[in-house]
Each structure stands twice: as structure tokens, then as C-alpha cells.
A and B are shown apart, each in its own frame.
Chain A
Amino acid sequence: MSSLALPLQRPRWRPPLPGFGLSLGLGMAWLGVVVLLPLAALTFRAAGLGADGWLRAIQDPRVQAALKVSFGTAFAAALLASVAGTLVAWVLVRYRFPGRRLIDALVDLPFALPTAVAGIALTAIYAPTGWIGRLLAPHGIQIAYEPAGIVIALVFIGLPFAVRTLQPILESLGHEQEHAAASLGASRLTTLRRVVLPELLPALLTGFSLAFARGLGEYGSVIFIAGNKPFRTEIAPLLITIRLEEYDYNGAIALAGLMLAASFACLLAINLIPLLFRHERRSARDA
């Protein structure tokens, strides 16, 4: 029975593909050290502040203002990015026009461009002396150094997310469903509202959540155009750095803990959206 060519008998059967233990172990170790460990440090320190520590930090009016600015601008920007993103994605997928491939490639620019570069470029454009700021100033509209400027910067950041989550869905959608609806007598608007929109909704929500999460924590693109006036255009991440420089660790930790919790919530929402819609689909079918 034995032969030189026969490998040593192992006591256990092994799966056909090699390296499960090693790859999982190394991967988890890398994840743990690079990502989980730092986040754990913040989580523990934030938890260690205690309820009063938290309340004191949160009740600081400057903190509340910063949170309002961050959440408000991120929300508005995600909304605008979703709308603009839908338009751009629709046009890119459905229509053919010269320069389409170029535009398609450019959608990723905000994603590839360093945030600081984007920040100073956007400031230069929307400042009162800039290309666009100059056009709007006579009308009393100021963008840079106002919340509007923050929103513009965050729309810049969020646009790729909105477009890239919609594109695959639109591409796989095809025209058949719309043609079917039209053949049944639906107007274009009705078709869009009742046939196309439900298909797009999960991707829209995902794109929105991604843009929101990124916008919430964005730093480099914002601090140049914002002007950073406390209570007006001071974003939460900036306040965290200010607290750090003042050696107010607890203040920084409290705010950062809140931001981290918001990030977790966004991540959770993003992961739950597909599950939620699968469930809805099933119950709609059984209805």
C-alpha cells in the first residue's frame, strides 16, 4: 500500500483550498492591530468619562454648535449629492453623448484628489474674489466662510458615492420594465415614480448614507473654505483638534466618541439597507 510518492498520512482531512487558518489569523491580526485597537482605545476612554463627563462635554454650547454645523451641513450635502448624483448617473448610463467616458472618469476625481488640495481649490473658487464667488457677491450671496461653503465642499466629496452606488443598479435595470409599464398605459412620470424609483431606492439610500458618513467626518476639504468661525462654521472634527491642542483630552474624547458612534450608526444603516429591502420585497410578493 505504501509508496514513496504517497504523502504522509495526516490525521485529519483538509479542505481543498489551502491557508484558511493562516490567512484568517493574519487578516484578523492585521485588522485588530491597525483598526480595532485604536478604536478600542477611544471607545474605552469615552466610556470611561462617565455619564457626567459626557453631559458636561455635550452641554458645552460650542460643542453643540459644532455638532449642529457638522450634522446639518453633512445632511444637506448628502441630499444635494444624491440629487446631483442621480442626475449624473442617469445621464451616464442611459444616454450617449460626446465626452461621456471622460465625465464618467471624472466622477472619481473627488475621491482620488487629496482633501487639502480640494479644500484650497474650492476656497479659491468660492471666495468673494474667486471665479464664482465674484459672480455671487454683488447679489449678497456669500459661499466661502459660510455654511454654504461647507455644503459645497461636502457635495464635492459626496458626489462619487452617490453616482457609483446608483450606476450598477441603473445598468442592470434595462428598459424592459419601463416599456412594460408604458404599454400598460402609465405616463412617463408615473412609470418613473412607481416602477423605476422603487428599484433605485436601496441604492439611493446607501449612497446617501455613505455621503453623509463621509461628510460628517470630513476635515481637509472643509477647514479652508469654512472660515472656522466658532458657532457658525466650526465643524466638529476641527473642534476636536482644538481641544487636543488645549490639552482638553476629555473634551476631545467626548466629541470624538460621539462622532464615532455616529459613524457606527451610519455603517449599521448601510449594511442593513439591503436586508431591509429584501424583506420588504418578500412581504410585498406575499401580499
Chain B
Amino acid sequence: MRWPMPGAATDAPAPSRATAARPPMETRRVLLIQDNPRPAAPAPGTPTTSAHAAIGHDAAMDSNGHGVDLRIEGVAKRYGATTALDSIDLDIAAGELVALLGPSGSGKTTLLRVIAGLLPADGGRVLFGDTDATLLSLRERNVGFVFQQYALFRHMTVAENIAFGLRSRPRRRRPDRATIRRRVDELLALIQLPEHGDRYPEQLSGGQKQRVALARALAIDPTVLLLDEPFGALDAKVRVELRRWLRRLHDQTGQTTVFVTHDQDEALELADRVVVLRDGRIEQVGTPREIYAEPASAYVFDFIGRASVLEGRVADGRFQAEGQSAWLEAPGVADGPARLYLRPHDVAQAAPGEGLQAQVAGLHHHAGRITVELALPGQARHLEIDLVGAPDTAAPVLGAAAGVRLLRYRVYPA
């Protein structure tokens, strides 16, 4: 049985988007994010190719031939007075594709490098399966690391790049040349560059280089695949293509993968689970749907997708916005100053007088939608709502009074 060829029937179905029937009203009540369906993992220990079997894994480092559970316990990292990572706890199951998401300075790259062994942890443990890898060096961890700038060996051909890891093994563990050759061919086919084996990196495009970098990392059967902003150096269009391709690749190989990104679209589209980081701490871990629809904090809500904010306060489990009379349910939120967060499309227009009182302060026309900026009395910031409708639908009038009904929102203590 060989690696499935791209386009074969074993491809995992692309994630689908649930769309409710569009109501006659102009708002769209849509759940934009859905989790990536996980394909059934191959049976543990099953070699999927003859070459694969002949290579022989480092038995202690994996338990099922496609990667191991990754456990991060209390990992901390400091640079002088700055805390880059503040006691991170994270469990990643074998075969998962996890995104570390956050702005620069959030610690996501630091965490990835500590997992890889590029940096030593100042505290805590990193476990690959049963093995405590905390004190192992990069080389001993058998991880596949992919840099943003590919770092292909410029003086070797594509095939030599991919074969490098296998050919660097000590004689005892090195497979024979024919086996290596076969593995390289399989990986070339997997990354859809079967004719490129004899090319040099400078002859490849950015997207091709990144695919070769991935194949090179996969060749050694890594315990975990670690990608450091893998698409950061690519054009926007290539980025999206390669993102989808990576997902399909992951579904085929079942390789435990952790990747770092600051691009939330990428994280939400690609990952099984997303880890949102901020200032060296985990803000939330969850599936893309959870992160988007059930953000655990105001920060996550604001960081992912677009958000509008209403200032106000909570009393007895209900929220009242500054300058408004309406009370909105806010169960479980402590009394005191609070903020209400909502998505621009989780809002419905109501008649003036119903719901929240607002005035149309601005209209922004985009392709396919109109964003209405609403000024609310007592609120410093404007509320943004998206209106989607046919081009001849009557648009709100600038300066007109409007009512706003919130369909979905979350309240967080200020």
C-alpha cells in the first residue's frame, strides 16, 4: 500500500460551511467556523509503505508510527527580567494538528522552540509519549522542524535534501540506498513534485520550497512536526493554497503537527485545535469553532474575527450598556463594570425604539455587504454591523435613527 496519491478517493472531505437559509432580513446568521473532521487514524504500528517499514522507527520515541502524544507541563522561559513563557500546560494528542496563535511577543514561537529543543526551558517538562524530552537536545528529539524561510540546503538537489536525514544516520541505523531512494520518491509524490528531484532549491518557487522542506522533515519519521510560521514568506494566494494542501497532507499522514501563526484565518481553517497565547500564557485552547463562537475572554473574542464592544455594567446577572436602558442577559458574570462583545453579523436591525438605540454614523460599502457604523449614546466607540443583501435592498440612511437587536454576544468583566 502506497501513500495515497492526491485526488484519490481517500482524501478527507473538505470542511463544509453550514449556512442557514438566508432570512428576508438583511442580517446573516451564520456559523462561519466549523471544526475540521478528523479522519480515522491508521492502526497503530501499521507501516503504510514497504520503505517506511524498512526504515524502522526509534521505538522509544513513538508509539503508533505516526507521532506521539505531546505533553507540556508547566513550561516556563525567561529572558532576564522578561517572562516569555509563564507556566504553560498543554496536552496534544497523537495525530493532532494544533495551531499556536497569538500576536508577536505572545510566546508562541518561544514555545515551539522549547518543544523542539532549540531553547532550554527554565522550568517544567516536555514529554514525547512516555519519554521526558526536557533535557534532550534538538538532535536527540527527532523532531521535524520547518522554518519560515525554508532553510533548504542550497547546494543539494531536492532529492538530496529530502534524503539528508536518512543518510545522516549512523551506519547501524542507516537504510540502504535503494530504500532511501524509494522513500524519497514516495515523498516527492506525496508533495506533488515527482519530477523535481534533480532540481536545486533556487530553481523552485516559494511554495515548492516549503513543500520540499516538509518532505525533508517527514522523511525521518519525526515524533512531531513543528512548523514556524510556515507560510509567512509566501504570497497571499500561495499561502491559502498551501494551507489547504497542508491540511490534506496531514489527513493522509496523520502526523502530530504543531504550527505557529499570527494569522487567525490560517489557524482556524487549518487546525484541529487552536491555542491562543498572550504574553506567555495560554488564553484559551479549543477547536476552531469553540475559539470563534465561545471565546473564553475578551482578548480572545477581540483577537479572533471582528468584534464590536459596548461598555456598561452588570448587575444581578444582567448587562446594561452605558447610555442605554435595555437590560441584556449576562448569566454568570460578576457584578461590576463589564464589556459586551459581539460580532458584526450577530446583530439584527430592529425598528427605531426597539432594542438598543443608535444612530447611523457611517456606511461602508464592500463587495457583497454593507457595514453600518452605528453611534450609540454614551458609547465612545461605534458599533459595526454587517448587512448582506441584494444590491437593490434599501440601505440605511446616514443619520437616521436605528434600533439594534443583539442575536448573540458575550459579556466579560471589564
Contacts and interface: CB of A to CB of B under 8 A. Distances in A.
Partners in one complex: yes
Interface of A: 1-3, 5-7, 9-16
Which bucket holds chain B's interface residue count?
10 to 19
A5 B60 contact: yes
Contacts of B136: 9, 13
Contact of B130 (A1, A14, A15, A16): A1
Nearest to A7: B140
A38 B40 CA distance: 71
Contact of A16 (B61, B138, B173): B138
Contacts of B135: 9-13
5 contacts: A9-B135, A9-B136, A13-B135, A15-B137, A16-B139
Contacts of B118: 16
Contact of B120 (A1, A6, A9, A13): A13
B265 interface: no
A14 B136 CA distance: 7
Nearest to A14: B137
Nearest to A5: B58
Q: Interface on chain A toward B: helix, strand, loop, or mixed SS?
A: loop
Contacts of B59: 3, 5
Interface in B126-162: 130-131, 134-140
A10 B136 CA distance: 7
Question: Which 6 residue pairs of A and B lie closest in terms of their CB atoms, listed nearest first?
Answer: A3-B60, A16-B138, A13-B120, A14-B137, A5-B58, A6-B60
Given A5-B173, A9-B135, A10-B135, A16 B117 contact: yes
A15 B119 CA distance: 7
A12 B134 CA distance: 9
Given A5-B58, A6-B58, A6-B61, 13 more contacts: A3-B58, A6-B60, A7-B140, A9-B136, A11-B135, A12-B135, A13-B134, A13-B135, A13-B136, A13-B137, A16-B117, A16-B118, A16-B138
Contacts of A1: 60, 130-131
B257 to A, nearest CB: 20
Contacts of A12: 135
Contacts of A10: 135, 137
B134 to A, nearest CB: 7
Nearest to B59: A3
Nearest to B118: A16
